[in-house]
Amino acid sequence: MCEFLILMNLNCETNNAEHRTKKLSKDQLIVRRGQPFTVTAELTQPFYPDRDPLTFTAVTGEQPSEDLGTKSCFGIPNKIQRSPSAKAVWKVDLGKISNPATGSLSLTITPPADTPVGQYDLFARLKDTETLLTTLVVLFNPWCPGRYNLQWKWELPLIYSLGLWTGTHTHTM
């Protein structure tokens, strides 16, 4: 996989069931915005977040931008320098069943409720090495209490048109 990662389990079957997307795929990660999903990682070394932070980047579209919400940088610890006008910042939490001393990590990742829907590449970086973890799909979430009503007005007709649209109501990718 890469020099710092032995194994990455996306738990597609479990995550897709929790996100009500299991009928779409059991092999590809398809999640809903505003709802966390859990992945597990086995590192080649112990994980010391204060010394060697684990950072993630989620990107979609041809020209990802923090200001448009199509690029998000986040990590453990969350000391990422972002654009002051960054929108749709994802977050990651280290799960209770993690064992950083052995490099065994349970990671809970949450795309926020205002994340543009679409296909994302998710990268991880530890020390000087970055790797593509997966390509995942983020869908609209009608069950998310944090969703924006304005986006709902624009997305509902798109859902009923049976097309997969990506972006926001003002910026389609």
The pLDDT tens digits for 7-31 are 889 999 999 999 888 888 889 999 9
Which amino acid, residue 5? Answer: L
SS3 call for 151: helix
- Determine the pLDDT at residue 158: 47
Q: Please tell me which residue, 141 or 115, carries the higher pLDDT value.
A: 115
Q: Which two tokens stand for residue 14?
A: 């479990």
The model's pTM is: 0.82
Q: Please identify which residue in the block is written with the tokens 């000391």.
A: 79
CATH of domain 5-160: 2.60.40.10
H or E stretch including 152? Answer: helix 149-160
Q: Where are the domains of the chain?
A: 5-160
Q: pLDDT tens-digit profile of 108-126?
A: 999 998 888 899 999 999 9
Q: Among 54, 74, 169, which residue's Cα sits nearest to residue 120?
A: 74
